[in-house]
Amino acid sequence: SIMPATLSAISNSARSGVLFKGGMHLENLSHIQAIAFDKTGTLTTGKPEVTDAIFNHQVDYHRVLSIASSIEEESNHPLANAIVQYSNDKDRSLITIEKMEDISGKGVKAIIEGETWRIGNADFVGKEQAYSFENEVAEKLASQGKTVVFVANHEQVVALFALKDTVRPESKKAIHSLKKKGIYTIMLTGDNPTTAQAIAEEAGIDHYVAECMPEDKVKELKLLKQYFSHIAMVGDGVNDAPALATANLGIAMGEGTDVALETADLVLMKNDLSKLSKAINLSRRMNKVVK
Ligand code: ADP
Ligand code: MG
């Protein structure tokens, strides 16, 4: 049965914006030695903006912009929304998409007038093609923490977009105070290594793993569990849910997707990562009281 002290701690913490879905999670939190974070939407605001767009001079700029935005209109990914917004501010036309496929962690694929188009990371459009298009510029953009997305037709990359997401101001403070408590911090992201490194440095994260597909996030957590007896995972997306379930403690961002909220053991209201450190203090105090 649940101790009255635990019950009152849970209700107090709920009032401060940390929702525990049960007493054992409060106890679990006190044992956490490491926390893995998703990047987009968790450490960052998840509302990227297009900062740069580069088009192959041999292609029809208007047509490629129209195709890219018409394809991305069919996707719910934050990067997709940003590309649509950018294109709407320019002059674009609506193109009819015949078939569209959203490939989680990689990009989108669509057929237009019988031709296959891909928009996504280098791996998705083909590394060779990606790296043969404005490679130096792309590397420089990535080193600034920007995500580079390539647009390719059936034979070559014809454009790239660079998008910058903002590290939440609370992230840096939250990571700092977690590290002071002796908690090891890790970032798991589907983004490329260069961008990942820049964001990890900005947030003050100890260690990062880039090019993580949803199933890779689970693999990484299983690996980390061999080093840390108690590890938590914080995420917001559908693609984070399996990892949240794998961690000893799953933590969802309050404005995250339903699946993340349902899977998590603990929810951070208002996406406030700084509440995490306070919740750990509370759980550690509680553990002393209850035992
Ligand atoms: P994260 O783990 O950082 O939240 P995702 O796993 O959602 O990132 O996506 C990983 C990468 O896949 C993105 O950085 C991007 O390059 C590519 N990608 C995914 N969906 C799209 C899309 N709709 N349009 C363009 N690129 C995409
Ligand atoms: Mg995310």
Nearest CA to ligand 1 atom 9: 105
Give, in order, the Cα–Cα distances in Å from 184 to each of 32, 37, 91: 9, 11, 47
Distance 118 CA to ligand 2 centre (A): 21
Tell me if residue 38 is catalytic. yes
Q: What structural domains and CATH numbers belong to the chain?
A: 4-45+167-290 (3.40.50.1000), 49-164 (3.40.1110.10)
Nearest CA to ligand 1 atom 4: 40
The minimum-distance atom of ligand 1 relative to the CA of 42 is 4
Distance 61 CA to ligand 2 centre (A): 31
Per-residue pLDDT of the chain (291 residues), as tens digits, is 678 888 898 999 999 999 999 999 999 999 999 999 999 999 999 999 999 999 999 999 999 999 999 999 999 888 999 999 999 999 899 999 999 999 988 999 999 999 999 999 999 999 999 999 999 999 999 999 999 999 999 999 999 999 999 999 999 999 999 999 999 999 999 999 999 999 999 999 999 999 999 899 999 999 999 999 999 999 999 889 999 999 999 999 999 999 999 999 999 999 999 999 999 999 999 888 765
| Verdict on whether the full-model pTM lies above 0.80 | yes
User: Ligand 1 — pocket residues by CB below 6 A?
Assistant: 38-40, 72, 75, 77, 79-80, 105-108, 119-121, 147, 149, 189-191, 237, 239
